[in-house]
Structure 1
Amino acid sequence: MSAKILALDTSTENCSVALMVNGQTYVRSEIAPRDHTKKILPMVDEVLKEAGISLNDLDALAFGRGPGSFTGVRIGIGIAQGLAFGADLPMIGISTLAAMAQGTYRVNAHTNVACAIDARMSEVYWGRFTRQDDGNWGVADSECVIPPAELVEHTQSDSLIWGHSGTGWDAYSDEFSGLALQLEKSDVLFPEAQDIAFLAQFEWENGNTVQAEEASPVYLRDKVAWKKLPGRE
């Protein structure tokens, strides 16, 4: 029997919540780049009411741990921690890039996925994933922040068809044009909470949870992001 998991993500322009319970998934999702703090909790209330359960009925709370917008990732983990503390729930952090890989499979049936989120500053958050027999994802390229030109220089060709997802492809289309991979465009631009909830089931089954105070984000560009804040070194 699958775990009852609430998932949320605010790491990109997309704001999304999903509740996976009793074989059903309840979803809310909206592109709202400046309204995450206004949208996310009402979405949580809506999916809980639709499913007819409360936070205290859940087994775990999953969240998009990044990479993504520095502010967005902080908002997401802060709200997730608050909910988890209130209901005494363990937490599960899921890579937003892996979630996009799952989304690309869900939407376009790609089993090999190259994910690139526009990270600004002429860089992308990058990762490549291959779907395993059990439905989980193996890592072909570990997540990193990197200029597209470096990817083009170091990526070797193979015989696979790679579905590509994320905002980085359009943002740096010229730079990516020389990438030595066979690519097919997908319809996925952002991570979705329903895919985070799906991946969180694997982590739950393997006992990979943390207490709320131990939940941590992944920025990939920690020093640069913190230096943007006044008084930070």
Structure 2
Amino acid sequence: MEYILNIETATKNCSVALAKGGKNILCKEIAEEGYSHAERLHVFIEEVIKEAGISMNDLSAVAVSQGPGSYTGLRIGVSAAKGLCFALGIPLIAIDTLQTLASQAKVEIGLIIPMIDARRMEVYSSVFTSAFEKKREVLAEIITEDSFSELKETLYFVGDCADKCKEVLTKENYIFLEDIKYPSAREMCSLSYKKFKTNDFVDVAYFEPYYLKDFMITPSKK
């Protein structure tokens, strides 16, 4: 079965998982306020490969979180993934960061709203069904009491925005799953395998992380 290395660095969580046949077999991760991705990422990669008893040459592909998220974090993860793919001559797979985050919520009905903190009351968000199918594209938006009010289903919010959003999003059908804070490479394993089986790869030379542009306009000082 194929070994795929999964790299998630879009948030404070620096996460690396090794999958075999789409199943996670090893994961190393740590979430720190100081964003220690540059120091931790390559160590985690070496550790999962060594502990699995394989070599880099046994990898069939590398999957990386495509964003949205931290500019610096995404650059570190994508640069590492590209370097491995170039060196090993294997394909690169890009995974939606918000889908990875949403995949941690195991609910039977309702909708899942993954949110990644941007700044102030701003978030990167999307909407997924309980089967993790995307219902709305990724948006950079400012959260108000009217956000998501058009959705009448039970809404499950996941991500690192609970503290600032739960005081504003107070409708009865809003539920915050506060234990699910950051995306993890564990949830990338099945997603990357599905893409691998359908040859859904990105161009190693030209792929860039998915950066959402700033959406708050600051007036110039006079």
- What is the TM-score with the length of structure 1 in the denominator? 0.83
Which residue is equivalent to 2:114?
Answer: 115
Query: Equivalent residues in 2 for 1:136-175 (5 A)?
Result: 137-149=132-144, 152-153=146-147, 155-158=149-152, 160-175=153-168
Query: Equivalent residues in 2 for 1:1-233 (5 A)?
Result: 3-21=2-20, 23-32=23-32, 33-105=34-106, 112-132=111-131, 137-149=132-144, 152-153=146-147, 155-158=149-152, 160-178=153-171, 181-221=173-213
Aligned partners of 2:17 and 2:24 also within 8 Å? no
Q: Which runs of 4+ in 1 moved over 6 A?
A: 108-111
In 2, Cα distance between equivalents of 1:185 and 1:69: 22
Q: CA RMSD in A?
A: 2.3
Determine what percentage of the aligned residue pairs are the same residue: 30
In structure 2, the CA distance between the partners of 1:220 and 1:204, relative to structure 1 (3 Å rule), is: same
* Secondary structure in structure 1 of the residue aligned to 2:82: helix
**1:18 alignment partner AA:** A
More helix by share: 1
What are the Cα deviations for residues 126-180 of structure 1, in whole angstroms up to 9, with x where unaligned? 0111143xxxx3112211110012x72453142x3332210122223323225x7
Structure 1: where are the runs of 5+ without partners?
225-233
**2:73 alignment partner AA:** G
Structure 2: where are the runs of 5+ without partners?
217-222
